[in-house]
Structure 1
Amino acid sequence: MLGTRGVPARYGGFETAVEEVGARLAERGHQVLVYCRNPEPSTPLPPLYLGMRLVELPAVRSRSLETLSHTALSAVHLLRRTRPDAAFVFNSANAPFLPALRAARVPVATHVDGLEWQRGKWGTAGRRYYRAAEAAAVRFSDALIADAQGIADYYAQEFAAPTDLISYGAPVVRTDTSRLAELGLSPGSFHLVVARFEVENHVDLIVEGYVRSAARLPLVVVGSAPYADAYTARIRSLADSRVRLLGSVWDQELLDALYCGALLYLHGHSVGGTNPSLLRAIGAAAAVDAFDVGFNREVLGDTGRYWRSPEDVSALVASAESDPGAQADRGQAAQRRARLYDWDHVATLYESLARRLAVGGPVARRPSGRRTGRTSL
């Protein structure tokens, strides 16, 4: 498994998937190797983690080069030191390294992620690169993985390319909320946002809408992002004294207490496919109000409420505070829906795909990578 920050999972959806799937595959007797970037180089990663073998390699600390530089080193290490039966490459941005893997006869599946070229952090050159990388992933992968139906539809429409639809899992989160006292909070006494500080996650719209409301309960914001100083400053400028910016919270038990104790969870992600923080929220029985986009509706269905503007957020926050019982009911319905997203089943789908890759079975050969000219999502 390469192309991510690796494990232990401390950042995003890819890392969560690698940890949850990789650990289960190792438990089932497979040899699993994960390439990792270490956020704390002074403390080396262990050689084994949850049954997975870890290879720690450096990366250029730059927004545009960090992923590519690390994946390049990972590909070189893989081709020189080990020849796996199958490789999972995460992120279509890593498509330039696929031809080398294919030339070495390493069967490879690419998890294409969301519509990266729509992310606000990329300029014109970055968006063009991601669009080209999508086409290269289609051309040079033996299989493509999509984590949401909307992503699968996009590749079908843009490239006439089939995908394996494998979503993330939603853990059922039950934890002792007494630790909220460490933050001066109690269950049902706050609203919550957990998000990387990127424009397409709309943290600024959530904060702006909340501040416009007459909310009595505080808004707790968990998150940050490297290379996002300007956006972070915007969020801070919009906040008032009711907004509590906690930064990153790496203590999973405390983070789970926040999910379980929130009156309302506000989710602003819009371009990344199925989002693990949203799945964790419904697994914790949180009532969710989400940015109105197909990926979020796919996960929440009728258990969620939806917004597009700060004005919408203001109204929803006020509504939640006026009827806490209704939010508890919505949260219970969301937790029941979370059972559709099971990590054991997800791991089985990855295992099945790995076996198909390894034996050269019915993995569809990719189309040319040329766009069909059809209307994209």
Structure 2
Amino acid sequence: MRIAMIGTRGVPARYGGFETAVEEIGSRLAAAGHEVRVYCRSAEERLAIYKEMRLVHLPAVRHKVLETLSHTAVSVGHLMGRRTDVALVFNAANAPLLPLIRAARIPVATHVDGLEWKRAKWNGLGQRYYLAAERLSVRWSDRIIADAQAIQDYYRERYGVPSVMIPYGAPIQERCDEGLLRGEGYEPGGFHLVVARFEPENHVDLIVEGYARSAARLPLVVVGSAPYAEEYSRRIARTADGDERIRLVGGVWNQDLLDAMYAGCATYLHGHSVGGTNPSLLRAMGAGAPVIAFDVVFNREVLGGSGVFFGDAETLAEAVENAEKQPDRERERGVAGRERARHEYTWDDVAARYERLCQDLRARTPR
């Protein structure tokens, strides 16, 4: 099959969950003999081929509201002039462009992501747009892809439509590169970790506040930044100011180091609340990190019985203190999380499901 993957920043994956999914799924589909074309936003490194996928680099308007849709519009224009059997569109925000793909008689599935309209970065107009985009995705997609059971339930209950539930996968780490960690100044098992974009619904400010209130001895390492949320970033910095235990290290783009940090942390603190199956959470589970997560249905669905949950600064402070008091119990939780990831969230299985979905789309199996 000739498969196009549209709507993300592209590959190599250096930003978020969509990009990781495109790389992991697309490379496996390409290795299975399919022709995979990935549309990428213009970058300094313009590879023509990456992991057997064909890359198409096109421009985008650098603006938080217009960036995704502008790039997808140019990508769809390119797509319509190429022979394509199936289009996989990521992000419901791209829904207004689906009729053009349908007009070209290309079957299309839309990965709707989480409940984007709930994100605080969107004002009233942005929220209304994303709600409208949800409705248009339902109307104009041949298939809807949900990455969590709770998202599938939401689309069935709100719009009365079925969807295909395909989660993300989790890379499994059996060991930690302790030499790399120590070389960067981190003691294996000697720090708590946060990895997140600085957005209100990821609750980085709440995690930093809760940790600051705690009597924890091990430092808190916060990995992340905010391209469009300067005030929120300043709020986090103000909360951390004066507490020598809190280290705001910005982005970590060395994937080997980031993997070692996941595998070598005492706990991984996860604050995401409006997405579905979160890739950073799965990466932490696959690395055997004991997870303390914000208490929402998505995180409980993924973690099962391996998680500890918080809802405010006080409960997070208590959870961190308890983790330091009972390190053996935390290691057991980490092992349980890794085993859950190993059996429930594998990229090979995820890619196989996407392959079956594409085969159904090409055959025009009714939804």
Q: Provide TM-score, normalisation by structure 2.
A: 0.97
In structure 2, C-alpha distance between the alignment counterparts of 1:44 and 1:236, rounded to whole Å: 32
Aligned-pair CA distance for 1:305: 0.5
The match for 2:260 is 257
Q: Helix, strand or coil for the counterpart of 1:277?
A: helix
Q: Helix, strand or coil for the counterpart of 1:32?
A: strand
Alignment check: 8 A CA contact 1:178 1:186 kept = no
The match for 1:120 is 120
Q: Which of 262, 282, 286 is residue 283 of structure 1 equivalent to?
A: 286
The match for 2:94 is 94
Q: Which of 346, 358, 367 is residue 342 of structure 1 equivalent to?
A: 346
- Amino acid of the structure 2 residue aligned with 1:254: L
- Amino acid of the structure 1 residue aligned with 2:80: L
Q: Which of 29, 34, 38 is residue 38 of structure 2 equivalent to?
A: 34
In structure 2, C-alpha distance between the alignment counterparts of 1:221 and 1:131, rounded to whole Å: 32
Q: Spell out, residue by residue over 1:136-191, the C-alpha distance to the aligned partner (whole angstroms, 9 max, x if none).
A: 00000000000000100000001001100000001102341221123321111000
What is the RMSD computed on CA atoms of the aligned residues?
A: 0.8
**Correspondences of 1:163-182 after superposition (within 5 Å):** 163-173=163-173, 174-182=175-183
The match for 1:136 is 136
Moved more, 260-269 or 43-52: 43-52
The match for 1:374 is none
Q: Helix, strand or coil for the counterpart of 2:171?
A: coil
Aligned-pair CA distance for 1:225: 2.0
Where does structure 2 lack aligned partners over 5 or more consecutive residues? none
The match for 1:108 is 108
- Amino acid of the structure 2 residue aligned with 1:63: K
**Correspondences of 1:217-296 after superposition (within 5 Å):** 217-239=218-240, 240-296=243-299
The match for 1:186 is 187
1:324 aligns with 2:335: no
Q: Helix, strand or coil for the counterpart of 2:269?
A: strand
The match for 2:12 is 8
Q: Spell out, residue by residue over 1:215-244, the C-alpha distance to the aligned partner (whole angstroms, 9 max, x if none).
A: 111000001121111111111000122111
Q: Spell out, residue by residue over 1:219-277, the C-alpha distance to the aligned partner (whole angstroms, 9 max, x if none).
A: 00001121111111111000122111111111010001100110010000000100000
Alignment check: 8 A CA contact 1:119 1:199 kept = yes
In structure 1, C-alpha distance between the alignment counterparts of 2:303 and 2:233, rounded to whole Å: 28
The match for 1:369 is none
In structure 2, C-alpha distance between the alignment counterparts of 1:47 and 1:36, rounded to whole Å: 11
In structure 1, C-alpha distance between the alignment counterparts of 2:356 and 2:226, rounded to whole Å: 35
In structure 2, C-alpha distance between the alignment counterparts of 1:177 and 1:62, rounded to whole Å: 40
Q: Spell out, residue by residue over 1:82-124, the C-alpha distance to the aligned partner (whole angstroms, 9 max, x if none).
A: 1310000000000000011111101000000000000010000
- Amino acid of the structure 1 residue aligned with 2:21: A
- Amino acid of the structure 2 residue aligned with 1:348: A
Alignment check: 8 A CA contact 2:270 2:291 kept = yes
Moved over 3 A (4+): none
Aligned residues: 359
Aligned-pair CA distance for 1:363: 3.5
- Amino acid of the structure 1 residue aligned with 2:297: G
Larger relative contact order, structure 1 or 2 (CA cutoff 8 Å, min sep 6) = 1
Q: Provide TM-score, normalisation by structure 1.
A: 0.94
- Amino acid of the structure 2 residue aligned with 1:79: M
